[in-house]
């Protein structure tokens, strides 16, 4: 009786992605906004959190809240074990060679500042060059501008084409013996473009430059293997990966991290302190001064467990399907122009609408319960390139549905109606 049905089910290949089961894990998705079900399409700004993450943080505070790496008491030992287990999960997630290569930070922004102010400041001198791209987030522009002011180094920018892709030939021309650092986004937050970082890294290494990859937008969508990429630094934030805010990770090659001076001074980053001399702690603690975001790191660990259970391959497959559906549906709207049309794209739909400013679109969509981001997305040079002051951006996660895309498109049509008076 059931054997035939079972066989048929398994013959269909891997089970279909069960979006309704996934949605049940995210308590916030059942709330209403302006009397309408929330349609949360602002995932590139921050993602929502599954109950598993919320409970992990709650459990820490209720049952074993204590400082780490110091007390001999039970709670401290438990908190230390959970914090270090989270570090190990990050290592596995990025396929780093050692836990020593994973530094907990406040987020991707702090990680980039850390590399600029330690590796950058201790190795760069006047006339050296740093290469970034046009589609960087401000957090991967300003730390390097600060470093240039401090060292006399020069910032160079790889241009993009009309689809929002990196122009590789221009990059190769920018590379020279003066290039010391290449800091490049993995997936653009404003455009969704997936940057061929492996090729970027290879070419930089041929010139002896060190490469940092900003993975803030990449980690929720695609698996990342820092050893296969051979990047020197990789950074991401927990909150875009379904974990808590205020925590993130910096991966750095051990050889580089060992050479780098500490970032901040304080407790936990030292072995021995006298007024005459201080001996710094070993990796990774050398870069973790002060009590870290313990609950956040534990929450991030829970988020990684969650993502691993669903599987990034399944997530990516489902999101690509949603992206194709959303792209086609939005293109049906008269006067709508997609900004960012690279063939290799993550599930981000940035757009402008003739005669309607993105902020007005944002307010009108909010009335339908649809949350999108409007503005420059902390990527003003991208806006300048496409000659728009701002865009409306719908960024999709694996808990979004095709029906939600329909609601988005209906709301955009409604915006046109309001402005057609």
Q: Contact residues for another protein (CB under 8 A)?
A: 34-35, 355-360, 363-364, 367, 374-376, 380, 383, 389-390, 418-419, 421
Burial classification of residue 277, based on how many CB atoms lie within 10 Å of its CB (0-12 exposed, 13-18 middle, 19 or more buried): exposed
* Chain centroid to CA 269: 26
* Minimum distance, C-beta of residue 367 to another protein, in the bound complex (Å): 5
Which residue number, 70 or 359, has a Cβ lying nearer to another protein? 359
Q: Tell me which of 148, 224, 231, 378 is the catalytic residue.
A: 378
Which residue number, 295 or 390, has a Cβ lying nearer to another protein? 390
Burial classification of residue 167, based on how many CB atoms lie within 10 Å of its CB (0-12 exposed, 13-18 middle, 19 or more buried): middle
Which residue number, 138 or 203, has a Cβ lying nearer to another protein? 138
Give every CB contact of residue 341 below 8 A, 6+ residues apart in sequence. Answer: 163, 164
Which residue number, 243 or 358, has a Cβ lying nearer to another protein? 358
Tokens 């599987």, residue located: 311
Which residue number, 55 or 360, has a Cβ lying nearer to another protein? 360
* Minimum distance, C-beta of residue 368 to another protein, in the bound complex (Å): 9
DSSP 134-198: TT--GGGTHHHHHHHHHH--EEEEE-B-TTS-B-HHHHHHH--TTEEEEEEESB-TTT-BBP-HH
Which residue number, 136 or 232, has a Cβ lying nearer to another protein? 136
Question: Minimal CA–CA distance to 185: which of 124, 109, 118?
Answer: 109
d(CA 132, CA 149): 16
* Minimum distance, C-beta of residue 215 to another protein, in the bound complex (Å): 26
d(CA 384, CA 103): 35
d(CA 54, CA 302): 9
Which residue number, 13 or 35, has a Cβ lying nearer to another protein? 35
Contact 393/313 with Cβ under 8 angstroms?
no
* Minimum distance, C-beta of residue 219 to another protein, in the bound complex (Å): 27
DSSP H or E stretch at residue 114: helix 108-115
d(CA 282, CA 212): 22
In the annotation, is 378 catalytic?
yes
* Minimum distance, C-beta of residue 202 to another protein, in the bound complex (Å): 37
* Minimum distance, C-beta of residue 247 to another protein, in the bound complex (Å): 25
* Minimum distance, C-beta of residue 328 to another protein, in the bound complex (Å): 27
Cβ count within 10 A of residue 388: 16
Question: Residues with catalytic annotation?
Answer: 378
């Amino acid at each position: 009786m059931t054997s035939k049905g079972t066989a048929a089910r398994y013959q269909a290949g891997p089970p279909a992605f069960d979006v309704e089961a996934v949605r049940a894990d995210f308590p916030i998705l059942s709330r209403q906004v302006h009397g309408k079900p929330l349609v949360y399409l602002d995932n590139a700004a921050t993602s929502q959190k599954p109950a598993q993450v919320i409970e992990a943080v709650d459990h820490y505070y209720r049952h074993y809240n204590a400082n780490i790496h110091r007390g001999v008491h039970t709670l401290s030992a438990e908190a230390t074990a959970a914090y270090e287990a989270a570090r190990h999960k990050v290592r596995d997630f990025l396929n780093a060679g050692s836990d020593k290569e994973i530094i907990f930070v406040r987020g991707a922004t702090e990680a980039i500042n850390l590399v600029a102010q330690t590796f950058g400041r201790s190795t760069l001198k006047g006339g050296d060059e740093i290469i970034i791209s046009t589609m960087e987030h401000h957090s991967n522009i300003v730390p390097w501008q600060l470093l240039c002011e401090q060292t006399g180094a020069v910032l160079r920018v790889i241009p993009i084409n009309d689809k929002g892709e990196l122009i590789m030939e221009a990059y190769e021309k920018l590379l020279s013996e003066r290039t010391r650092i290449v800091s490049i986004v993995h997936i653009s937050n404003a455009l969704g473009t997936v940057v061929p970082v492996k090729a970027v890294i290879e070419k930089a290494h041929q010139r002896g430059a060190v490469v940092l990859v900003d993975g803030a937008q990449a980690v929720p969508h695609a698996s990342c293997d820092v050893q296969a990429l051979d990047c020197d630094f990789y950074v991401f934030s927990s909150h875009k990966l379904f974990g808590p805010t205020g925590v993130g990770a910096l991966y750095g090659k051990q050889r580089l991290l060992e050479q780098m001076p500490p970032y901040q001074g304080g407790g936990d980053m030292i072995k021995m302190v006298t007024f005459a001399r201080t001996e710094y702690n070993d990796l990774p603690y050398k870069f973790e001064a002060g009590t870290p975001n313990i609950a956040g790191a534990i929450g991030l660990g829970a988020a990684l467990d969650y993502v691993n259970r669903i599987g990034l391959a399944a997530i990516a497959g489902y999101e690509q399907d949603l992206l194709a559906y959303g792209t086609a549906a939005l293109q049906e709207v008269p006067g709508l122009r997609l900004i960012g049309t690279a063939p290799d794209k993550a599930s981000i739909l940035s757009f402008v609408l003739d005669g309607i400013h993105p902020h007005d679109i944002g307010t009108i969509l909010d009335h339908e319960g649809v949350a999108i981001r409007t503005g420059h997305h902390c990527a003003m040079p991208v806006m300048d390139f496409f000659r728009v002051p701002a865009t409306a951006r719908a960024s999709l996660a694996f808990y979004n549905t095709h029906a939600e895309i329909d609601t988005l498109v209906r709301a955009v049509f409604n915006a046109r109606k309001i402005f057609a008076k």
